[in-house]
Structure 1
């Protein structure tokens, strides 16, 4: 992938509790460890927890961009793990849904970022609220995290359905988390694929991989450290690195002007087209 074409991808899910943010953090870590310039946006704007999983305490976040005119370079936080995060706030109700003015503020702020970003990962919230749909509309690739739980599948299908029927999104990548083996992961994926094939026309679901259930993942969460860093040889870490290697083969589409600005411009275009 050319370094002047950033890959912008979301890590998203239909419901909470499937390990979405943990996947975002550990994919950012793995891509960074492979020499890539990575920024992770915590886009669960009202219930942020990327910083909690990382065990860091940024003093500034996107709230300060919107309400205190803080610049993006002051908000960007360098983690101890080789990648940067754009932190969000937690427990702030007016961050739950961005208005058009805030989206313009984001556009102006992101315009100042350097052009050497390889990956811009967007850790969305769970579900189908405005912010989740909003960020999923703008990215080049959507990595949908699911688990074998029936509610995970039904809620993932609901997210796909809304994005397809209301916004014309047809391509999704799938990562099956917390499964005992490859066969189970494939069975879970096929259930979701069959539902989409039966009720939705034109959906493309690509199984990227699976992450085995691994007790060391929970241990790393308790320690507030990426499990790929704390337990690099544990099965989940090996699987995340394999997933990162696959992501590293994806090509950034050429609908960019050579830097990250297109992401925010596309967000605003979507805003105007929906309005």
Structure 2
């Protein structure tokens, strides 16, 4: 692990890819559990990386962190060890399939709301080390609006809300958007509808949420895309291999690939503001203090 940490440090210092990265921060959340949020996050990150972008996934699902399980990796260190100053940010970065880098959160995020001023500053200093190291930092948060999830939604550049066509999932997806907005926070939301049996079902689900958000919250909620319902997904989970890796030609994998392409080439491709990581940390720290 020490060798890996040193290699990561050297990579940042040398900037071997010869281009300056303008790191963009994205939060992925859902109104309820069981909609495939973490699986979407992982495979979306892999699809972005396949297009030449460097991505780091930050597993911020308290108590139910499972990005590592979806890749069959058992991290020895997590955010907890960073917060306790036992390890640096580079020591807790692990690699999964196709060298996708990730940080395991686990119970560490519970400690975020109990940090001292000095510990908060250290956390910010460490995370800021990632600025310019990757193109995207994707936070996979817990389902529902916990205090910790709210912090990531508000602090990130944008938030992707994952839902399914099920009535309860639709209701809960809208509820999380409404709750954040009612608190006075301005957040750039985008919708992803997972497990659709046909494109019409996905469009109907997204339109339903978007229309209500426009009518009652005066919010425009664009749709990022749809992911087809696919038996290959559960097979990949059992194998602990991302479905875009295990079954690259499957309907779900093709859906993710199209969605990632739309993300990069469409309106969502607007460049992150300079200092996006610092802005994220500034908002996060204000919420923590």
Does TM-score exceed 0.5, indicating one fold?
yes
1:195, CA displacement in angstroms?
2.2
Deviation string, structure 1 residues 83-105 (Cα, Å, up to 9, x no partner): 1001112xx49727633435433
What does residue 75 of structure 1 align with? 92
- CA–CA distance in structure 2, aligned partners of residues 68 and 5 of structure 1: 27
Shift of the 262–170 alpha-carbon distance from structure 1 to 2, 3 Å rule, reads closer
* More off after superposition, 105-114 vs 172-181: 105-114
Shift of the 114–172 alpha-carbon distance from structure 1 to 2, 3 Å rule, reads closer
Shift of the 118–43 alpha-carbon distance from structure 1 to 2, 3 Å rule, reads same
What does residue 263 of structure 1 align with? 280
What does residue 232 of structure 2 align with? 216
Deviation string, structure 1 residues 55-113 (Cα, Å, up to 9, x no partner): 10011001111225311100011223221001112xx4972763343543321211223
Correspondence for 1:34 among 51, 66, 72: 51
Shift of the 194–229 alpha-carbon distance from structure 1 to 2, 3 Å rule, reads same
Greater per-residue helix proportion:
2
Q: Kindly indicate whether the alpha-carbon contact (under 8 Å) linking 2:192 and 2:223 is maintained by their aligned counterparts in 1.
A: yes
Deviation string, structure 1 residues 88-145 (Cα, Å, up to 9, x no partner): 12xx497276334354332121122352311111101110111111000111111110
Q: Does 2:65 align with 1:48? A: yes
Q: Kindly indicate whether the alpha-carbon contact (under 8 Å) linking 2:214 and 2:220 is maintained by their aligned counterparts in 1.
A: no
Q: Does 2:240 align with 1:251? A: no
What does residue 80 of structure 2 align with? 63
Deviation string, structure 1 residues 171-225 (Cα, Å, up to 9, x no partner): 3110000010110001111221232233212x12101110010000010011111
Correspondence for 2:254 among 229, 238, 246: 238
Shift of the 128–231 alpha-carbon distance from structure 1 to 2, 3 Å rule, reads same
Q: Kindly indicate whether the alpha-carbon contact (under 8 Å) linking 1:216 and 1:227 is maintained by their aligned counterparts in 2.
A: yes
Q: Kindly indicate whether the alpha-carbon contact (under 8 Å) linking 2:164 and 2:170 is maintained by their aligned counterparts in 1.
A: yes
- CA–CA distance in structure 1, aligned partners of residues 109 and 131 of structure 2: 29
- CA–CA distance in structure 2, aligned partners of residues 86 and 112 of structure 1: 14
Q: Does 2:174 align with 1:157? A: yes
Question: Structure 1: which 5+ residue stretches go unaligned?
Answer: none
Q: Kindly indicate whether the alpha-carbon contact (under 8 Å) linking 1:61 and 1:86 is maintained by their aligned counterparts in 2.
A: yes
Aligned residues: 266
Q: Kindly indicate whether the alpha-carbon contact (under 8 Å) linking 1:3 and 1:118 is maintained by their aligned counterparts in 2.
A: no
SS at match of 2:234: helix
Shift of the 113–94 alpha-carbon distance from structure 1 to 2, 3 Å rule, reads closer
SS at match of 2:22: coil
Spell out the pairing of 1:103-252 with structure 2 (5 A cutoff). Answer: 103-113=120-130, 115-201=132-218, 203-249=219-265, 250-252=269-271
Shift of the 182–9 alpha-carbon distance from structure 1 to 2, 3 Å rule, reads same
What TM-score, normalized to structure 2? Answer: 0.86
What does residue 98 of structure 1 align with? 113
RMSD: 2.0
